[in-house]
Each structure stands twice: as C-alpha cells, then as structure tokens.
C-alpha cells in the first residue's frame, strides 16, 4: 500500500505540473454543461408553415386560424401555387405545407368527407414526425369543433365518450434539460477519464520517464492502480461540479441518493479507466491513442441510449451494448436523479458495470509489459 501511495502522489504531481491539463480538468466540465445541456434537444418550439388555401371560405379560414393559434406553428407564406410552396419546402424555407382544396367549405356544409393535403420536410425524420403529430392534433380539434357545431351540445351528451387524462411521471413538465443532463454527466465523466488517463500513460512512453518505473520492483498492478486513482478522484470531482451546475443553473431535481450515484459513477470510472489504459498499452504515441480513443468514444456515446432509446436499436446493437459501460451509467444516472431509484432498482446495472470494470482492469494489468 505504501508503494501505491507514493505512486499516486507522483501521478498527482505530474498531472497538475501541466498547467493546461490542470485548467482543462475544471474548465471543460463547466463549458460542457452550460453549452450542451440546453443545446442538445429534440424539442420543437417553432415550425414554419406554408398555407395553400384554394377555397377561401369561412371554414378554411377557421382551420387556418386554429393552426395559427397553436404555439407551435408560424405561417410564413401563403400562396395559391403548389409549385411555389414545394419550392419553399425544397429550399428549407418552411417545414410543412398545408393545402386546402377548393370546395372544402361546401363539402363541410353538406356533411361530406373532406381531405386536406400536408407535405412535410422529412430530411430530419424525428422533426417531421413531431411536426405532423402537432398538426394532426390541431386538425383533430377542428374536427371536434365541427361536430359540436353540427350536433349541438345535446347531441354530444348522448354519445358515449372515453376521456383520457395524461399524467407524466418523473418529469411532469416534459423539460428536456432534465432528461439530457444525466446523460451529459455520463459523457463528461467518460471524456475526462478516458482521454486524460490514456494520454497520461502514453505521454510517459514518449518522454521515456516510464522506463524509470519499469526498472524498479514496482509490480504491474501497483502501476495500473496508481494511474487510475488520480483520474478516478478527478472524475468524481467533475461529477460533483456538474451536479452543482445542473441544480443551480437548470434546476434539475435530485430525487435519489447522492452516495449511490457516486458509487455507481466510481465503478463506471474504473471500467473506463481500465479500458483507456488497456488501449494505451498498444499506442506508442499520443496521436495513435487519440485516434483509437475517439473511435471507441463515438461508438460508446452514440450507442449509449442518450439520443436513441436502446430498445429501438437492432438486436445486434443491443448485444454489443452489453459490454458498453456508458449504457449502464446513462440508465443509472437518469433513474437515480429523476426517479429516486434505490440500489435494488439498479442492481442489475451495478453488477454489469462491476463485471466490466474488473474485466477491463484485468486486461490492462495483463497487457502492460514491464521492460527495462
């Protein structure tokens, strides 16, 4: 233990001797939290709409007014030409085209079925689906108004209806920042631990100082543990900084046990650090490690479930994610922060993370070669 203690002390001195790394360790989390949390969102707050009204009746104007009255839509252009509207859509000047055919009001007055045509810019599939869902809801409300006008209140009372009342748990206001912050925290810890730990070891290779350690009786597991502990502490400090910013700046609730969150993050950091040190044993230069590290980081992040639900991925991707530690920490962070989940609720994720951490650390120790 005394040997490990002196090695850890040496690592801390070496880390903070570099002024850039010392500043980056604390500056990067602040910038990352303040920029990414509000920026990374799938919410749609404003949609540009083009209206093609060939009817120009009271009924068509009521539909347009109902769409305009929605907080999501902004009518930027009205025309009688479908070609002109399609040109606006192709140039990304509008997101949706609502075409109201001639005879719209006449058919409504006769009680005949009426159709409107909607064109959506589906380059962004998620944006197109959400915008269509919003517009479909507005048209549905317009249909209910027509039914109420034609049948009267008495007719509506006699028709059996099912009333649906929505209740959202754990994020009642559907605030996207509450959903994204736990995921950004996972990426923050991943970036600090994964990149800096691996670069630290490779930097010693390049400078030749690692040879001074190799000729000593220091054992391999002493060396690997000493390399991991400083960045484990730094990662947890950055996590505390991120949680503080999330609470003070974004008002994100913290429903769970903070000790449980830090325990899980520590296990996650051990897994990440073990894998980073394992990769660094193959790299002779910092450039080689950076290329390799970014390759795995992109895979880890994009397949972690922060943007796309894990259940929506194909079976082969879900199988690969069994060894992706970021998947488990994303789930743990969101469950503990937003749901107040207990140890029992996340026990499977904790066991999986522990197994991955032990496996990656063992690989790093086994792969490291002490050569004089």
**Higher model confidence: residue 208 or residue 84?**
84
Q: Which residue ranges make up each domain of the chain?
A: 2-40+176-367, 47-158
Q: What residues pair up with 49 in beta bridges, in sequence order?
A: 75, 96
- For residue 342, pLDDT beyond 70: yes
pLDDT, mean of residues 348-364: 94
Could you tell me which residue, 299 or 151, shows the higher pLDDT? 299
Kindly report, residue by residue over 27-51, the tens digit of the pLDDT. 878 888 888 888 877 777 788 999 9
Return the top range by mean pLDDT from 136-145, 217-226, 287-296: 287-296
Proportion of the chain above pLDDT 90, given as a percent: 30
Alpha-carbon distance of 154 to 171, in angstroms, equals: 38
Across the chain, mean pLDDT equals 86
pLDDT for res 371: 62
What is the pTM assigned to this prediction?
Answer: 0.82
Cβ neighbour number for residue 255 with a 10 Å cutoff: 12
Least confident of 138-152, 216-230, 277-291: 138-152
Cα–Cα distance between 364 and 28 in angstroms, integer? 27
- Using CA atoms, how far residue 109 sits from 59, 99, 106, 202, 334, in Å, is 9, 19, 5, 78, 52
**pLDDT at residue 261 is higher than 80:** yes
Q: What is the pLDDT of residues 135-187, one digit of tens each?
A: 888 888 888 888 777 765 544 455 566 777 788 888 888 888 888 899 899 98
Residue 360, pLDDT > 80, answer yes
Higher pLDDT, 349 or 105: 349
Percent share of the chain, pLDDT over 70? 96
Dihedral sign of CA atoms 63, 66, 70, 74 in order: positive
Residue 305 to residues 172, 253, 310, 330, Cα–Cα distance (Å): 21, 21, 5, 7
What would the mean pLDDT of 331-336 be, rounded to a whole number? 94
For domain 47-158, give the fold. abc type-2 transporter like fold (3.40.1710)
What's the pLDDT at 41? 75
The Cα–Cα gap between 81 and 89 comes to 13
């Amino acid at each position: 233990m005394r040997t490990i203690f002196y090695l850890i002390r040496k690592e801390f001195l070496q880390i903070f001797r570099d002024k850039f790394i010392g500043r980056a360790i604390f500056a990067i989390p602040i910038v990352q939290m303040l920029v990414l949390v509000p920026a990374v969102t799938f919410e749609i707050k404003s949609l540009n709409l083009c209206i093609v009204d060939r009817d120009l009746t009271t009924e068509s104007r009521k539909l347009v007014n109902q769409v305009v009255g929605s907080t999501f839509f902004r009518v930027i252009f009205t025309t009688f030409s479908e070609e002109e509207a399609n040109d606006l859509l192709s140039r990304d000047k509008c997101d949706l085209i609502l075409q109201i055919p001639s005879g719209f009001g006449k058919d409504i007055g006769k009680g005949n079925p009426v159709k409107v045509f909607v064109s959506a810019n589906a380059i962004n599939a998620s944006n197109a689906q959400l915008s269509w869902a919003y517009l479909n809801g507005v048209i549905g409300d317009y249909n209910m108004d027509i039914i109420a006008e034609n049948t009267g209140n008495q007719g509506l009372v006699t028709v059996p209806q099912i009333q649906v009342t929505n209740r959202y748990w754990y994020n009642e206001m559907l605030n996207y920042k509450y959903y994204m912050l736990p995921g950004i925290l996972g990426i923050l810890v991943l970036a600090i631990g994964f990149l800096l730990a691996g670069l630290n070891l490779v930097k010693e290779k390049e400078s030749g100082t690692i040879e001074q350690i190799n000729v000593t009786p220091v054992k391999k597991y002493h060396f690997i543990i000493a390399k991991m502990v400083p960045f484990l502490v730094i990662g947890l400090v950055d996590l505390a900084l991120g949680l503080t910013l999330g609470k003070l700046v974004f008002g994100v609730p913290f429903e769970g046990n903070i000790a449980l969150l830090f325990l899980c993050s520590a296990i996650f950091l051990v897994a990440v650090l073990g894998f980073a040190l394992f990769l660094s044993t193959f790299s002779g230069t910092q450039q080689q490690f950076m290329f390799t590290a970014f390759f795995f980081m992109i895979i880890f992040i994009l397949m972690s479930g922060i943007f796309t639900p894990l259940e929506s991925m194909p079976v082969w991707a879900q199988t690969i994610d069994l060894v992706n530690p970021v998947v488990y920490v994303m789930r743990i962070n969101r469950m503990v922060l937003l749901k107040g989940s207990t140890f029992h609720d996340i026990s499977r994720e904790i066991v999986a993370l522990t197994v991955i951490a032990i496996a990656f650390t063992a690989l790093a120790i086994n792969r490291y070669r002490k050569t004089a």
